[in-house]
Amino acid sequence: MTVTRSVVIGTGSHLPARVVTNDELATRVETSDEWIVQRTGIKQRYIAAPEETTASLATEAARKAMAAAGVTADDIDLVVLATATPDNTFPATAVEVQARLGITRGAAFDMQAVCSGFIFAMTTADSMIRTGLARRALVIGAETFSRILDWSDRTTCVLFGDGAGAVVMEGRTGEGTNADRGVLTSHLRSDGRHKEKLYVDGGASSTGTVGHLRMEGREVFKFAVGAVTDVIEDAFLATGFDGDSIDWFVPHQANRRIIEGSAKKLGIDLAKVVITVDRHGNTSAASIPLAIDAAVADGRIREGDVVLLEAMGGGFTWGSVIVRW
Ligand code: ACO
């Protein structure tokens, strides 16, 4: 049986030039490199310059992904941009990126699922490609979390960073088996009962301000290692893959301890886990495409590899994708 599969044909990423080390943060709030590394694995993060925005980071990442895919603006008929830090309340940052890239065909819109945004965006693009609504999609995760951090709150400001990553996905014909290239399965979940554990205390309709990120760190940690693995178990059940038979695990990069805890629970060898949180910090929706691009660039992820993606974020939202590269 022939089916349409959404195949990743190019990846790209972009980081601001400015690196902020833990030692630099320790000059602003009462913290230390030792505390941050021990609790989170984060050693540094990139912070956007005043003239850099989510749209500008996203545009650079998208340009590189399109170049890697060998496509031009005319070839793209869908832009889905995952972000919780849009340039403006409206229009969507995706529209700004679309214009900067000279894309005039098809639809462009933002996806808001916080740190799970890229998984939700990829799944949306895949659904639209498989139903014939789009042929070639630019899927982007881009954030400037530095703009919503309370820089006097040491419990949150040390965790996050800015950046963007992108992939180009193209509809191709497959056989309907696990041997096909492309997205093989996706599983998305949300549970708004947890909305106050990780949120921003402002918004257009509530306060008329942008607000600052607030978090119950321990609650997030417990949920991230305890509950989130259900979407990976669902992905394994749907495909027959398991921790041994996948080639790479690219989780959302929030915290090294969360990543290691999840891998252990799922029986995934740490050697197969792509980790960038030490360099990037938590870049929310950008973290997975940034990590993917790093692993593609250094030759780890290659055509034919089975790659498991997983994320969890505010809401809570969480999800998984298995894609054969
Ligand atoms: N530097 C030094 N001390 C700190 C810092 C800091 N940056 N932040 C907190 N502390 C102190 C606290 O004030 C507290 O001191 P006290 O005992 O005197 O009250 C002590 O360290 C312990 O604080 P806890 O919050 O209990 O520390 P915990 O071990 O839980 O670690 C952390 C905190 C790292 C935030 C952890 O809870 C965590 O990783 N949670 C997950 C959160 C996360 O990754 N969120 C990302 C967004 S969600 C997502 O992307 C999925």
Query: What residue ranges do the domains of the chain occupy?
Result: 3-174, 182-324
Residue 228: its pLDDT value, please? 81
Which of 14, 22, 115, 194 is the catalytic position? 115
179 phi, psi to nearest 5 deg: -80, -15
Q: What residue's CA is closest to ligand 1, atom 7?
A: 154
d(CA 158, CA 144): 14
Site to probe by mutation for ligand 1, drawn from 197, 221, 253 as the one with most ligand atoms within 8 Å of Cβ, is 221
Cβ of 228 less than 6 Å from ligand 1 = no
Q: Known catalytic residue: 280? A: no
Which of residues 109 and 229 earns the better pLDDT score?
109
Q: Known catalytic residue: 252? A: yes
Cβ of 35 less than 6 Å from ligand 1 = yes
Cβ of 115 less than 6 Å from ligand 1 = yes
Give domain 3-174's CATH number out of 3.40.47.10, 3.40.50.1220, 3.40.190.10, 3.40.309.10: 3.40.47.10
Checking DSSP bridges between strand 162-174 and strand 3-14, what pairing results, if any? antiparallel
Residues 159, 287 contacting (CB under 8 angstroms):
no
pLDDT digits (tens, 9 = 90+) for 174-220: 999 999 999 999 999 999 999 999 999 999 999 999 999 999 999 99
46-71 burial code (b ≥16 CB/10 A, e <16)? bbbeeebbbbbbbbbbbbbbbebbeb
Confidence of residue 229 (pLDDT cuts 50, 70, 90): confident
Atom of ligand 1 nearest to the CA of 159: 46
d(CA 183, CA 320): 11
Cα–ligand 1 centroid distance for 300 (angstroms): 32
Average pLDDT (301-319) is: 97
Q: What residue's CA is closest to ligand 1, atom 30?
A: 218
Cβ of 149 less than 6 Å from ligand 1 = no
255 phi, psi to nearest 5 deg: -165, 130
Which of 212, 252, 255, 280 is the catalytic position? 252
The structural architecture, per CATH, of the domain 182-324 is 3-Layer(aba) Sandwich (3.40)
d(CA 186, CA 199): 25
Confidence of residue 32 (pLDDT cuts 50, 70, 90): very high
Which of 14, 187, 255, 282 is the catalytic position? 282
Residue 28: its pLDDT value, please? 95
Which residues, including other chains, have CB under 8 Å from residue 105's CB and lie 6 or more apart? 74, 76, 77
Cβ of 113 less than 6 Å from ligand 1 = no
Name the residue among 265, 281, 273, 275 with its Cα closest to residue 232. Answer: 265
Confidence of residue 226 (pLDDT cuts 50, 70, 90): confident
